[in-house]
Amino acid sequence: MSQLDPGSPVNLLADRFWEAILAEEPTTATMYGDDRYDDRLEDPSPEGRARRRRLMETTLAEAATIDLDAQSLEDRITLDMIRVVCELGIVQDDQRTDLLKMVDQMAGPQTLLPQVVMFQPADTPERFERLEARLRAYEGYMAANRELLREGIASGLTAPRIVTERTIAQLERLTMIPAEESIITTGARVASETDRARVADIVREVVIPAERAFLAALKDGYLAASREEPGLWSAPNGDALYRTQIRSWTTLDIDPQEVHRIGLEELESIEAERRTIARAEGFGDDTAAYRASLAAQADNIPDTAEMLLGRAREDIDRALALAPSYFGRLPRAGLDVKAVEEFKEKDSPFAYYIPPTTDGSRPGIYYANTYDLPSRVYTKLASTTYHEAVPGHHFQIALEMENETLTTFRRLGSRLVGGAYVEGWGLYAERLADEMGLYRSEAERFGMLDGQAWRAARLVVDSGLHGLHWPRQRSIDTLLSAGLTPTDSVIETDRYICWPGQALTYKLGQREIERLRAQIAARDGADFDLRAFHDAVLGHGSLPLATLSRELPNWVATPA
């Protein structure tokens, strides 16, 4: 591996850029174990937005002065990524996507404190003082967000009605919880119960009133102004907004109609694989009937949340035992398995992953959703675990964070270039788990194929909703036919409505990794080294797909 040159002009610029981003996104710093900004929250005000805009403009201008051809390979990649982040940041500021993101049942402002307190130590007087300052800053933070609601109403850049309704319902649940039982209070990492009681007092005095004021603003004017149509096309300049979101999430400039076509082709191919299993199990071509039989099998349904979490832990241990045969480098960071918190489980996906801290004080966390437990069948859990944990996101993200040949920007901030590389690897990992022999049965393999079909269906429904003017129910029906449960079909549809373009990252990224693997394997023949391929894919951090496509064949050495 090449050595990091911290004094190169590109790396110096990347360091300054990342430091400025952390100052503007203090809770991001906390999530990575950087406590310098633990006393503050993000600034959604016009002044904060102007600072972030200036950061993008000045960084882009400085990047333009650096001679790209004179830089090393890694520095050229870093410069590429800085440009992508800044250019997209400026375009999104021009389009005011901050107004659209203010109402969000997945990651809106109301979800910030419950998450950040779990990652912020407050076990000394100094640390507790910073936590108290952050909690008290919530009043001003939510007041600034209420101003954005008014600005969204005036401009027409409002959330779809279903997103507003879900956000209202979530805030109603949050504000009904007594301060002593709030997840902020119970989750705070404090040194004593006396300090926990002080947190409860702040929640009662500051947090709940701020949330009630935001809730009132949503009910009193914003709900009526919300867009009736779920697709981004229905917003002012909506078609251009969607193309920008596709670029932001995937780094690809691809037409929604082309995305739709790819999704339909992928669905057809995966369904052929599912029919093969259904026939072998005696169901002919009726894959829906086979799926229903699996959902009804008692041994496929966890009796308790702990049983589901325990099964996930077993699968992670089995994957870790086999990983050295498929990877030359393994992450040092550990991995915990936890249930999604009750307050947001109704709005959350089946599972997700939180990266470890850089100092090793906290491992990565795989969150599994135990809401509607009868729908959380083991045959679906397996591939989800391999996607989110091992050999999926935990391997990719932890190895990236531990890569000492990359700058801090590349190790921690590179996901700013979108999610297609990260989510593409996660989906690739589901198929890789099949090669590794990790699926316990053909039923689990069928569950994996259902997961693959789900991501292919995402191409169809995301482009359908936001580009082709689909109604919400058509998306739900499409996901049901792809194999999702009724619960997940609704939750996932509303997630895609809330986050235009994000759903495209999985299949588009997987297709590129698989295409490159086939290309290099054809080139190398019998000398193809799968471990070397995986190490090369994961050896440079998160990348724009165009960069991965251009450079990866050069990183996997041609046999002599």
Q: Could you read off the pLDDT of 86-135 as tens digits, one per residue?
A: 999 999 999 999 999 999 999 999 999 999 998 999 999 999 999 999 99
Residues 389 and 268 in one domain: yes
In a domain, 22, yes or no: yes
Residues 349 and 227 in one domain: no
Residues 268 and 229 in one domain: no
For tokens 């588009």, name the residue: 508
Q: Exposure pattern of 14-25 as b/e (b: 16+ CB <10 Å)? A: beebbebbbebb
pLDDT at 5 over 90: no
Residues 203 and 264 in one domain: no
Dihedral sign computed on CA atoms, order 430, 436, 437, 442? positive
Band (pLDDT 50/70/90 cuts) for residue 487 is confident
Residues 116 and 205 in one domain: yes
Averaged pLDDT score across all residues of the chain:
95
In a domain, 535, yes or no: no
- Digit-coded pLDDT (tens) for 36-85: 999 999 999 999 999 999 999 999 999 999 998 899 888 999 999 999 99
pLDDT score, position 547: 87
Residues 225 and 301 in one domain: no
pLDDT score, position 42: 97
pLDDT score, position 6: 84
Residues 122 and 99 in one domain: yes
pLDDT at 555 over 70: yes
Mean pLDDT to the nearest integer, 340-350: 82
pLDDT score, position 490: 93
Residue 217 near residue 109, CB atoms below 8 Å: no
CA distance 399 to 233: 38
Mean pLDDT to the nearest integer, 254-276: 97
**Which helix (H) or strand (E) segment is 206 a member of?**
none
pLDDT at 559 over 80: no
In a domain, 554, yes or no: no
For tokens 């359908």, name the residue: 464
In a domain, 82, yes or no: yes
pLDDT score, position 414: 74
- Digit-coded pLDDT (tens) for 145-187: 999 999 999 999 999 999 999 999 999 999 999 999 999 999 9
Structural domain ending residue among the three candidates 213, 232, 247: 247
Domain of 218 in residue numbering reads as 9-247
pLDDT score, position 404: 87
Structural domain ending residue among the three candidates 212, 247, 282: 247
pLDDT score, position 4: 80
- Number of domains present in the structure of the chain: 2
Residues 144 and 279 in one domain: no
Residue 71 near residue 79, CB atoms below 8 Å: yes
Residue 424 near residue 510, CB atoms below 8 Å: yes
Dihedral sign computed on CA atoms, order 271, 276, 280, 285? positive
Mean pLDDT to the nearest integer, 235-249: 96
Residues 278 and 189 in one domain: no
DSSP track, 336-378 = EEEEPPGGGGGGS-SEEEEPPPTTSSS-EEEEE--TTGGG--H
For tokens 């009662």, name the residue: 204
pLDDT at 416 over 70: yes
Mean pLDDT to the nearest integer, 287-303: 95
Residues 159 and 282 in one domain: no
pLDDT score, position 182: 96
In a domain, 188, yes or no: yes
Label residue 483 left, alpha or beta by phi (over 0 means left) and psi (-120 to 50 means alpha): left
Percent pLDDT > 90 in the chain is 85
pLDDT score, position 358: 81
Structural domain ending residue among the three candidates 229, 247, 265: 247
**Which helix (H) or strand (E) segment is 250 a member of?**
helix 238-250
In a domain, 521, yes or no: no
Torsion angles phi and psi, residue 122, rounded to 5: -135, 45
Band (pLDDT 50/70/90 cuts) for residue 2 is low
pLDDT score, position 560: 59
Residues 351 and 384 in one domain: yes
Label residue 372 left, alpha or beta by phi (over 0 means left) and psi (-120 to 50 means alpha): left
In a domain, 543, yes or no: no
pLDDT at 32 over 80: yes
CA distance 312 to 382: 7
Tokens (6 digits) for 33: 């174990």
Residues 84 and 117 in one domain: yes
- Digit-coded pLDDT (tens) for 442-471: 999 999 999 999 999 999 999 999 999 999
Percent pLDDT > 70 in the chain is 99
In a domain, 79, yes or no: yes
